[in-house]
């Protein structure tokens, strides 16, 4: 169990956290209509009469959306329910044209699964997934376009969502953050959701309660629609502190829906108590039971990409990488693929070090992701080849990498053009050493007098004299001889 607690006036309190993630399914068309599911179109230009709930309109389910839900379930190591059912969730709101949402209540398409999260220090914790079901997204209502009116755009109405519900297994904000990042990574690997929280294609509702160690669960509150991992973690802390204060004041936390205000760093109540919803779930009579074949599920499973956990384990064994490094490299499939192209036929550890160090640093400086990298995997590999055959040394390689990222040119070309080849001519090295020793008599005397650490100073000076191109091993050896 984690040691994370909130210290209240009366003692320590544990957190109990559950997450409900709404993930927009990657598909061309919507869940029950043929309108486009893509983002960012002109208002009400991607609306079928079915989406707008006109009289007599009927839903027809999109096979690819079902497949995406199955793939995600497989990625969560979850039970795939071959028979599931769509139910209507009835409530009135401006962005819900039919006055009901088609969802899955009693019989979801995916059952229990698990997500393994890695925490700081390398500990692995399994977080239970209760279920995953398919449902329609609502439209968008905008309340700030006009003083007296709200504007409604139904482009998003009917887009397929996967609702993924976790068990209340998380105990710290860090775990919640790790769960969300891992879930996003898995879905991006599978291509089932792009996990873009800023654009709203992945949204989290956070359930938080607190308790004393060993107690059963107390009342929880739901914080809706938090749209970044950072805010989720902040919201959990803010809400947990609020609840601790309430309990310690001798009052009871009310079950309610809240919103997180990042500006204030606090949560506030969203709905009045009297609006408790009675959703009157019942099976949608316009739809029949959803029955899928095990053979189809097996086919989908066979074509899944290697998932992050498996890839990480393979990187560790195949390339000899430590857990942390492998973990970072597999977080995005594009990064993992890039790495493997670089590491092919080369030293895997060296490749990893260069990627995780100077290469990522360079990308960050440029504000680019790996998909927009100015150099290709082959290009980076070319640099590593020059290092491996001692054409250049490590210090020069850093310079070359920077130049490569600026100009997009190949490593070898840059080395030639700028004359950066490593100097291995012992005569030239000896000459440089002699020059340095002659120029620094007092330091030389101090060294001979016992100040051993001045050796580094001399190395630096020789390298400077050689414009960094001296072969470090030869420089060291020459210095040792002459000192």
Partner 1 sequence: MTLEFTLSSARNALRARRISSRELTEAHLAAIEALEPALNAFITVTPEQALAQADAADAAIGRGEGGPLAGLPVAIKDLFCTKGVRTTAASRILEPFVPPYESTVTANMLRDGAVFLGKTNLDEFAMGSSTTTSAFGPAINPWQRRGANVQLVPGGSSGGSAAAVAAGMALASTGTDTGGSIRQPASFCGIVGMKPTYGRCSRWGVVAFASSLDQPGPFARSVEDTAILLGSMAGHDPKDSTSVNRPVPDYVTACRRGVKGLRIGIPREYRVDGMSAEIEDLWSRGIAWLRDAGAEIVDVSLPHTKYGLATYYIVAPAEASSNLSRYDGVRFGLRVPANDLTDLYEETRAAGFGAEVKRRVLIGTYVLSAGYYDAYYLKAQKVRALILRDFTEAFGKVDALLTPTAPSAAFGLGEKSDDPVQMYLNDVFTVPASMAGAPGISVPAGLDAEGLPLGLQVLGRHFDEETVFAVGAALEAAAGFSAKPAVRMEAGR
Partner 2 sequence: MASASSALDPAAVRRIARLARIRLADEDVAQLQAELGAILGWIEQLNEVDVSGVNPLASVGAATLAMREDVVTDGDQTEAVLANAPARSGPFYTVPKVVE
Rg of the chain's alpha carbons, rounded to an integer? 30
Task: Report if residue 58 touches partner 1, rule: CB under 8 A.
Answer: yes
286 contact, one of partner 2, partner 1, none, CB 5-8 Å limit per kind: partner 1
323 contact, one of partner 1, partner 2, none, CB 5-8 Å limit per kind: none
187 contact, one of partner 1, partner 2, none, CB 5-8 Å limit per kind: none
Q: What is the distance in angstroms between the CA of the first residue and the CA of the last residue of the chain?
A: 58
CB nearer to partner 2: pick between 136 and 166: 136
What Å distances lie between residue 12 and 8, 15, 212, 358, CA to CA?
Answer: 6, 10, 7, 43
CB nearer to partner 1: pick between 264 and 273: 273
Task: Report if residue 53 touches partner 1, rule: CB under 8 A.
Answer: yes
Among positions 2, 20, 39, 43, the unique one binding partner 2 when judged by CB under 8 A: 43
Among positions 11, 38, 49, 248, the unique one binding partner 1 when judged by CB under 8 A: 49
Diameter over CA atoms, the chain = 98
- Minimum distance of partner 2 from residue 40's CB (angstroms): 14
Is-contact 135 107, C-beta < 8 A? no
Task: Report if residue 322 touches partner 2, rule: CB under 8 A.
Answer: no
Count of residues touching partner 2 (by CB under 8 A): 50
Task: Report if residue 49 touches partner 2, rule: CB under 8 A.
Answer: yes
Query: Would you give the binding string for partner 2 spanning residues 91-120, x where CB under 8 A is met?
Result: -x-x----x---------------------
Considering only 88-96, 166-174, 253-261, 465-473, which stretch makes contact with partner 1 by CB under 8 A?
88-96
Give the closest residue to 362 by CA, choosing from 417, 414, 319, 401.
401
Task: Report if residue 293 touches partner 1, rule: CB under 8 A.
Answer: no
Task: Report if residue 451 touches partner 1, rule: CB under 8 A.
Answer: no
Count the residues in the chain: 483
* Side-chain half-sphere exposure of 100, counting CA atoms within 13 A: 18
Task: Report if residue 45 touches partner 2, rule: CB under 8 A.
Answer: yes
User: Alpha-carbon distance 453 to 434, whole Å?
Assistant: 19
User: Alpha-carbon distance 89 to 279, whole Å?
Assistant: 5
Task: Report if residue 45 touches partner 1, rule: CB under 8 A.
Answer: no
CB nearer to partner 1: pick between 69 and 178: 69
Block residue for tokens 């229990």: 112
What Å distances lie between residue 228 and 22, 54, 224, CA to CA?
Answer: 13, 35, 12
CB nearer to partner 2: pick between 17 and 29: 29
CB nearer to partner 2: pick between 274 and 371: 274
Which residues 267-286 are close enough to bind partner 1 by CB under 8 A?
278, 280-282, 285-286
Q: Quick one: DSSP state of residue 425? A: -
Block residue for tokens 């208002």: 43
CB nearer to partner 1: pick between 53 and 246: 53
- Minimum distance of partner 2 from residue 187's CB (angstroms): 17
User: Alpha-carbon distance 73 to 110, whole Å?
Assistant: 6
Considering only 3-11, 87-95, 365-373, 435-443, which stretch makes contact with partner 1 by CB under 8 A?
87-95
Structure tokens at 127: 């977080």
Task: Report if residue 92 touches partner 1, rule: CB under 8 A.
Answer: yes
Is-contact 236 173, C-beta < 8 A? yes
List CB contacts of 21: < 8 A, sequence separation 6 or more. Answer: 163, 164, 166, 180, 183, 202, 203, 204, 205
Is-contact 201 193, C-beta < 8 A? yes
Task: Report if residue 320 touches partner 1, rule: CB under 8 A.
Answer: no
Among positions 97, 168, 177, 382, the unique one binding partner 1 when judged by CB under 8 A: 97
Is-contact 420 396, C-beta < 8 A? yes
57 contact, one of partner 1, partner 2, none, CB 5-8 Å limit per kind: partner 1
Q: At what angle do helices 333-343 and 308-319 cross, to 10 degrees?
A: 20
Q: What angle do CA 332, 110, 81 make, to 5 degrees?
A: 135
Which residues 354-413 are close enough to bind partner 1 by CB under 8 A?
none
- Minimum distance of partner 2 from residue 283's CB (angstroms): 7
Burial class (CB in 10 A: 0-12, 13-18, 19+), 72: buried
Considering only 63-71, 323-331, 358-366, 447-455, which stretch makes contact with partner 2 by CB under 8 A?
63-71
Among positions 27, 172, 267, 373, the unique one binding partner 2 when judged by CB under 8 A: 27
446 contact, one of partner 1, partner 2, none, CB 5-8 Å limit per kind: none
Count of residues touching partner 1 (by CB under 8 A): 29
Which residues 253-282 are close enough to bind partner 2 by CB under 8 A?
270, 278, 280
Dihedral sign for Cα 184, 202, 229, 248, please.
Answer: negative
Is-contact 32 62, C-beta < 8 A? yes
| Residues making contact with partner 2 (CB under 8 A) | 27-29, 33-36, 42-50, 52, 60-66, 85, 92, 94, 99, 141-143, 145-154, 270, 278, 280, 283, 287-291
| Residues making contact with partner 1 (CB under 8 A) | 49, 52-61, 88, 90, 92, 94, 97-100, 150, 152, 278, 280-282, 285-288
């Amino acid at each position: 169990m984690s040691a994370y607690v909130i210290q209240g006036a009366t003692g320590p309190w544990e957190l109990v956290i559950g997450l409900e993630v709404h993930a927009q399914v990657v598909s061309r068309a919507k869940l029950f209509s043929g309108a486009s599911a893509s983002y960012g179109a002109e208002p009400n230009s991607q609306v079928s009469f079915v989406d707008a709930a006109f009289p007599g309109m009927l839903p027809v389910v999109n096979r690819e959306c079902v497949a995406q839900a199955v793939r995600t379930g497989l990625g969560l190591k979850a039970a795939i329910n071959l028979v599931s059912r769509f139910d209507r969730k009835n409530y009135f709101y401006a962005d819900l044209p039919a006055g009901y949402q088609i969802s899955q209540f009693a019989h979801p398409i995916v059952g229990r699964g698990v997500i393994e999260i890695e925490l700081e220090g390398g500990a692995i914790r399994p977080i239970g997934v209760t279920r995953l079901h398919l449902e329609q997204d609502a439209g968008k209502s905008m309340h700030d376009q006009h003083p007296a009116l709200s504007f409604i755009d139904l482009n998003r109405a009917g887009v397929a969502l996967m609702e993924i519900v976790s068990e209340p297994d998380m105990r710290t904000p860090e775990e919640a953050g790790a769960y969300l990042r891992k879930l996003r990574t898995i879905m991006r690997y599978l291509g089932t959701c792009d996990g873009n929280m800023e654009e709203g294609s992945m949204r989290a509702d956070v359930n938080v309660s607190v308790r004393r160690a060993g107690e059963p669960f107390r009342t929880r509150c739901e914080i809706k629609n938090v749209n970044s991992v950072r805010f989720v973690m902040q919201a959990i802390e803010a809400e947990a502190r609020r609840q601790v204060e309430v309990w310690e004041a001798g009052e009871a936390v009310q079950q309610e829906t809240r919103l997180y205000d990042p500006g204030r760093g606090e949560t506030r109540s969203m709905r009045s108590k009297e609006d408790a919803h009675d959703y009157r779930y019942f099976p949608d009579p316009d739809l029949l039971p959803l029955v899928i074949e095990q053979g189809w599920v097996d086919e989908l499973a066979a074509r899944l990409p290697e998932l992050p956990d498996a890839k990480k384990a393979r990187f560790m064994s195949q390339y000899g990488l430590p857990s942390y490094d492998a973990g970072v490299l597999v977080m995005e499939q594009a990064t993992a693929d890039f790495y493997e192209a670089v590491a092919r036929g080369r030293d895997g550890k060296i490749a990893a070090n260069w990627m995780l160090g100077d290469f990522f640093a360079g990308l960050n400086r440029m504000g680019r992701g790996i998909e927009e990298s100015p150099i290709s995997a082959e290009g980076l590999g070319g640099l590593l080849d020059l290092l491996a055959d001692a054409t250049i040394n490590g210090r020069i390689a850093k310079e070359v990498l920077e130049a490569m990222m600026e100009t997009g040119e190949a490593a070898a070309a840059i080395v030639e053009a700028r004359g950066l080849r490593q100097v291995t001519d012992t005569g030239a090295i000896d000459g440089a050493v002699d020059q340095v020793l002659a120029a620094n008599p007092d330091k030389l005397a101090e060294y001979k007098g016992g100040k051993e650490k001045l050796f580094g100073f001399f190395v630096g000076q020789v390298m400077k004299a050689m414009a960094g191109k001296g072969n470090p091993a030869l420089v060291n050896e020459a210095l040792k001889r002459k000192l």
